[in-house]
Chain A
């Protein structure tokens, strides 16, 4: 009897804490945050999944997601104000992406970090992106084909790009938060662009054609200095930064062998290691990887090992040039330590760092980077020789 009483009280006294039916939830998949300078309000837009869409045939014309918008002086108040228009409770555990406007990225990113680090419900796995030259609300409003939910579309885009081309930098909120909180690190975020700005992509007509009018497109990496957006890298530099940060392991390289003729290689299993020398202000970067010939438009006999060695050297130089360009831009144009050299120095010898390098901006400019690239060509595709070269033999 005692046991039964115990079980009953155990069940009833909990009072169904945190009970919520699926029907009552507004599942938020994406959030867009902008800042209105005229009235100093945060403009928050959330993308809520429309669950009726899949179940009910009568709602075939309804969109897959709905955008709710609210604004207020602080983020929390702005989010609460969404209940003015949304009948369901906002549920943030399935947040996939957060898009911030350039204005927010320039001046208010610390508020974003505080809010999302404090919010217990938000999942820490989402990615933050910067809306380049566009309104973040428009970015999440675009109706996309194939993957109907635009947040999943963007997230998948980010992953696929990172794994195959290495332009976009993929990191979760937790990783970004770590580099934000570390005083010796600067953050870098991926960015998004809109194609076809004339007409907004939030209508169903956007996906009623084979080539939709409006699309979201991944742009290059946005880099920050002192938690303020200062600029964007070029495509090549974004790849270079990703390689330096070990955030990607695959990319493409092409090398010019004669006028308008190139050969293209895929670089695989990229691995970079950075070794520092505090006293000499030296940074030794070593990059290793495999390369595969994908396209050979040059008259080269790649059956010959000497040619292979030559090609190998050329690819290595090409990659070295990209890395050095990236470092130059970061060092001189933007002068921001996104690679985290200062952090490495600190981890190696914190006292020396504090004593000698008080003005890091200047020190960073003076650093000497030695890049060593070591690639190994190990595959030439299905054809053994070059088709162009072979044909010329007869």
Chain B
């Protein structure tokens, strides 16, 4: 017993945070060891110390302290500690260790609540639907999911990743729906990880995402428990990482960026219309600057005469080529966006004033840009903000500049070349063995029914066939 304590003290360099309390019960010496920042002092004094005192008073004759303590202490989780490694592990996880003279030990759960309480989502806000978000604690996050799926078929597999951080990672999937091959593949990828630290789920995402070269994300992140649950029930796999409020959802398809969580809660016809708008917005934000450059510098014959005259009149005072003008505006918008994210809230009003100057009347009056370019860039920027996933916005940004380059060198032909390249890139992409462009290419008719539009819940009876081979129906046919 003393040896273990000595070793612990030595290894932690006599860390003052670890408390070694000596107590005599029934004239037997025990050590109560706990890591102060991680434990709740109330729990230790109320349930462990008090229970031990109670035992001391109750039993006068010599007893087997180990089994008595294990039996009598008022604590919901007691674990036998087998070896020294376990002692260290439980100590760093907020447990209280009771060390006996014969070098056996017990661990009691006395974790302090270090996580913030459940708040509403900040990056994926919706008008309708549940308003809770994941937090940094994996227990709370697991609870948020389990609260919504109350069945034995929700299977969870736990892993420890990170040599130093020892982060707990859980894989959630439905036993009766999810493709087992997918689960095994995910598990294999996770087990392969050999890294010091996992601080956020983003690290895991980068390590298991095979298609790192392409800008479009093949793994989605979300902070909404309802979105995670919908994904699990569709047959996807959700990875929850301790200390990260963002869970990973995979596989992720391009089509998923057009779907929002609240789509499931709205009327089908309204949601369908919104989705069509999202499709438009996607192509607008991708193509507008490129097509504008192509038409005004190469293919002027494409425009109606009145529009051409209007464009020409607006361009007549601008000294730069249209491509440079557009690049200037796009860059200043991206810089504005980036600084808006980093800036503390109290100075954001100053930023918006400066922003209005750059992308506005002042720039036009200075003769740097034409008014139509301001409109083109504004429409582009606004359309990009429809998508909540930052990775998608960044990916679109890269391709937008590619389209602009193509337009600047070859006009509309260049735009078409880049578009072919874009489609090729997307269709060669895979998300955990599933083609990224599903259900468009390869085409799944039943999947298409729920892509551009959303069927009413009454008519949605089958699951997405490309996610789950399992025949279980989403909803029974009877109405």
Contact = CB atoms under 8 A, between A and B. Distances in A.
Nearest to A96: B305
Contact of B313 (A7, A11, A54, A91): A54
A320 interface: no
B411 A18 contact: yes
B421 A21 contact: no
B305 A29 contact: yes
Contacts of A10: 417
Contacts of A123: 301
Interface in A30-82: 49, 51-56
Nearest to B311: A22
Interface string B259-284: 00000000000000000000000000
A7 B305 contact: no
Contacts of A21: 296-297, 315, 321-322
A392 interface: no
B316 interface: yes
B11 interface: no
Given A11-B414, A93-B300, A55 B306 contact: no
A16 B313 contact: no
Interface in B307-354: 308-318, 321-322
Contacts, number: 82
A55 B406 contact: no
A267 B192 CA distance: 83
Contact of B297 (A11, A22, A55, A91): A22
A310 to B, nearest CB: 49
B110 to A, nearest CB: 57
B315 A11 contact: no
Contact of A51 (B300, B312, B405): B312
B298 interface: yes
A179 interface: no
Contacts of B408: 16
Interface residues of B: mostly helix, strand, loop or mixed? helix
A23 interface: yes
Contacts of A29: 305
B20 interface: no
B410 interface: yes
A20 B298 contact: yes
B66 interface: no
B409 A12 contact: yes
B297 A54 contact: no
B180 to A, nearest CB: 36
Given A14-B409, A21-B321, A27-B309, A55 B300 contact: no
Interface string B383-413: 0000000000000000000000110111100
Counting contact residues on chain B (CB < 8 A from A), the size range is 20 to 34
A18 B301 CA distance: 12
A155 B129 CA distance: 57
Given A16-B409, A152-B306, A94 B315 contact: no
Contacts of B297: 19-22
B290 to A, nearest CB: 13
Contacts of B311: 22
A152 B306 CA distance: 9
A11 B309 contact: no
Interface in A82-106: 91, 93-94, 96
A305 B305 CA distance: 51
A25 interface: yes
Given A10-B417, A55-B314, A25 B300 contact: yes
A56 B315 CA distance: 11
B9 to A, nearest CB: 56
A52 B310 CA distance: 10
Given A16-B409, A27-B308, A93 B301 contact: yes
Contacts of B417: 10
A22 B296 contact: yes
A51 B317 CA distance: 10
A19 B407 CA distance: 10
Contact of B318 (A11, A23, A96): A23
B421 A7 contact: yes
Contacts of A14: 409-410, 414
Given A18-B411, A20-B297, A11 B312 contact: no
A62 to B, nearest CB: 11
In the A-B complex, the 8 residue pairs with the closest CB atoms: A93-B301, A51-B312, A54-B313, A51-B313, A11-B409, A22-B315, A55-B313, A94-B305
Given A55-B317, A93-B301, 17 more contacts: A11-B410, A16-B409, A21-B297, A21-B322, A22-B315, A22-B322, A23-B315, A23-B316, A23-B318, A51-B309, A54-B310, A54-B314, A55-B313, A93-B300, A94-B301, A96-B305, A152-B305
Interface of B: 296-298, 300-301, 305-306, 308-318, 321-322, 405-406, 408-411, 414, 417, 421
27 contacts: A11-B406, A14-B410, A16-B409, A18-B298, A19-B298, A20-B297, A20-B298, A21-B321, A21-B322, A22-B296, A22-B297, A22-B316, A22-B322, A51-B309, A51-B312, A51-B313, A51-B315, A52-B316, A52-B317, A54-B309, A55-B314, A55-B317, A56-B317, A94-B301, A96-B305, A121-B301, A152-B306
